[in-house]
Amino acid sequence: MELGEIRQFTALELGRLIKGRKISSPEATRLYIDAVRAEDGETHAYVSVFEEDAMARAEAVQKRLDAGELAERPLAGVPAAVKDAICVKDKKTTAASRMLEHFAPPYDAHVIERMAAAGAVILGKTNLDEFAMGGSTETSCFGPTRNPWDPERTPGGSSGGSAAAVAAGLAPYAIGSDTGGSIRQPCSFCNLTGVKPTYGSVSRYGLMAYASSLDQIGTMARDARDCAETLSMISGYDLRDSTSVMEKPFDFSGIFTEAGGEKPLQGLRVALPGNYFRMGISGEVKDIVLKAAGGLADLGAEAEEIDLPYIEYAVPAYYIIACAEASSNLSRYDGVKYGYRSENASDMTGIFYKSRSEGFGAEVKRRIMLGAFVLSSGYFDAYYKKALQVRGLIKGAFDAALKKYDLILSPVSPTPAYRIGQQIADPLAMYMADIYTVSLNLSGLPGVALPCGFDGEGLPVGMQFIGKAFSEGVLLHAADIWQQATGYHKSRPGRRGGAGRGAGK
C-alpha cells in the first residue's frame, strides 16, 4: 500500500489501519502535515498547523494503542481538523477576525476534551468566515479559502476551511459549527457528508458565540459512518453549557449494516416540500435532488410531496434573530479586556469606537448594526418579537410534518458552488442562499447533508435529510443506505465516480 493512498481513505478506514498496525498514528499524522505544507498554499484551508503538538500527541496515542488501550475508540490516532472558532488550549483561536488575531484561550472547548479522550490527533485550525458570519469563507481576515473541486469557486461557509481540508485530502474528517447552514452548505459544495445535530446535543462550551440560540457544533467527513462516529465522540452532557440536554452521547451502534434485499429502505416515509422546489432553485439542482428522491423510492422509501407553511419567512426571521444575538454576543469585544485594541485611541470612548471599527470586518459590522437596530426601542416589537413568533410557526410546521414522515428531503443550496467574488458584494443574494438551511437552526432540528450528484460542469450537488429532534440515527441510517447504493460520496476532486444502484431513473 502506497502512503499516498492513505489520504483517500475514510476516517474509520484509517482508524482500522492504525489498529491493525498497517500504519502508525505518527506516520499518518506526518503524512497529513506534509500534505498540508505542500498543497494548502492554493486551497488555504488551514490558518494554523500544530505540527509539534500533533506529532507529540500521535506518539502518545500510539503508545497507548500498543499497550492495548483505546481499543473501543475507532478514531484513536486518526488526525482531524478543527474550525478556528473552537477553543484549543494555548493555541490561537481567532474566529478569522483581526479582533482576536492574538487570542490563545486558557482552556479547551468541550468537544476538544471529548476528542482528546477518544485519542484524536488535532492537525490544526481551519479557515472560516469572520465570527462564522458568511456563506463563502471570503470574510476571513486571513483571506478566502478555495474549493478543491474548482479553485475559482468558494467552498461555502462559514465552515469552508473544514470542508476544503477534507475534500482536498488534507484531513480525514473535520469539526465545524452550524448557525444557519455552515456545515451543510460547505458539504454540499465540496461533496462531503455533514451533520448539524439537534440543538443541545453537543456542548457549545468553547465555541466562539455568534447567535447562541442557533449555534451548534457538528461534523464533516467523507461518509455517514464517519459522521456518526465523530458525532458520538463529541456529543453528550456538559454542565458548563446551560442548553446541554443529552445525558449520554449518541449511540449509533447497530444502525449500520450492509444493505440487504432489493428494498433496504422499505417503510421509510419521506416528505418532499414542494414549495422548496419553487423558491429560486436552479434547474439543474432541482432535477438532481428530485432524481435522488426517485433513487430513495427505488430503495423502498415512500416519497410524498407536501407543502411546508411559513418557510418563505425563514430567511428574514433568521437574520433578525441571528443579528440581534450577534450584536449582544460581540459587545464583549470592546478593546478593554482582551482582543484587538486600537493604537489610535486617546480616551475610553475612542478605545471602544476605534477598536471595534478597526477590529471587525465589514460583514460583522453590518450584522452588529442590524442587530442593534432590531433590538432598539421602538423597533423591538416590530422586528425582533415578530421574528420570534415566526420562529415558533416554522418549528410548528416541521413538527406537524414529522409526525407523519420519518424525514424531510430538501436541497441544501439553490445552486452549486459559485465563483469567489460573485456574491460577496451583494449581501441579500448571499443571505437568500441560506433558504433551505436556516429553518433547521430556527427549529433546533437535526439535518444531514450528503452528496447526490453533479451538475453539467462537474460541481457537486447535495441534498439534506431533516428529522425529528434526536433522530440523527434515522437520518444517518438512511444516508448510509443511500451511500451503499450510490458512488457520489466516493468521488474526489479530479476523479468523478459513478452513480451506482438507486440513483434514480
Could you tell me the pTM of the whole model? 0.96
Residue 337: what residue type? K
> What per-residue confidence (pLDDT) applies to 499?
53
Count of structural domains, the chain: 1
List active site positions: 83, 158, 182
For 131, the domain range is 3-234
CATH of the domain at 46: 3.90.1300.10
Q: Is the residue at 479 inside a domain?
A: no
On whether residue 400 sits in a domain, the answer given is no
SS (HEC) of 65-89: HHCCCCCCCCCCCCEEEEECCECCC
Sign of CA dihedral 157, 429, 215, 10: negative
In a domain, 199, yes or no: yes
Residue 30 neighbours by CB distance under 10 Å: 17
**175 within domain boundaries:** yes
Helix, strand or coil, per DSSP, at residue 291: helix
Please state at what angle helix 362-374 crosses helix 314-329, rounded to 10 degrees.
100
Residue 42 lies in a domain: yes
Give the helix/strand (H/E) hosting 303.
Answer: strand 302-306
pLDDT in 10s for each residue of the chain, 505 residues: 566 689 999 999 999 999 999 999 999 999 999 999 999 999 999 999 999 999 999 999 999 999 999 999 999 999 999 999 999 999 999 999 999 999 999 999 999 999 999 999 999 999 999 999 999 999 999 999 999 999 999 999 999 999 999 999 999 999 999 999 999 999 999 999 999 999 999 999 999 999 999 999 999 999 999 999 999 999 999 999 999 999 999 999 989 988 777 899 999 999 999 999 998 899 999 999 999 999 999 999 999 999 999 999 999 999 999 999 999 999 999 999 888 999 988 889 989 999 999 999 999 999 999 999 999 999 999 999 999 999 999 999 999 999 999 999 999 999 999 999 999 888 888 899 999 999 999 999 999 999 999 999 999 999 999 999 999 999 999 999 999 999 999 999 976 544 544 444 3
- pLDDT, residue 337, reads 84
Q: Residue 115 domain-assigned?
A: yes
Structural domain contains residue 188? yes
Within a domain: residue 54?
A: yes
Sheet containing strand 302-306, strands side by side: 46-49, 121-126, 79-83, 174-177, 217-221, 193-196, 447-454, 460-466, 407-411, 269-273, 302-306
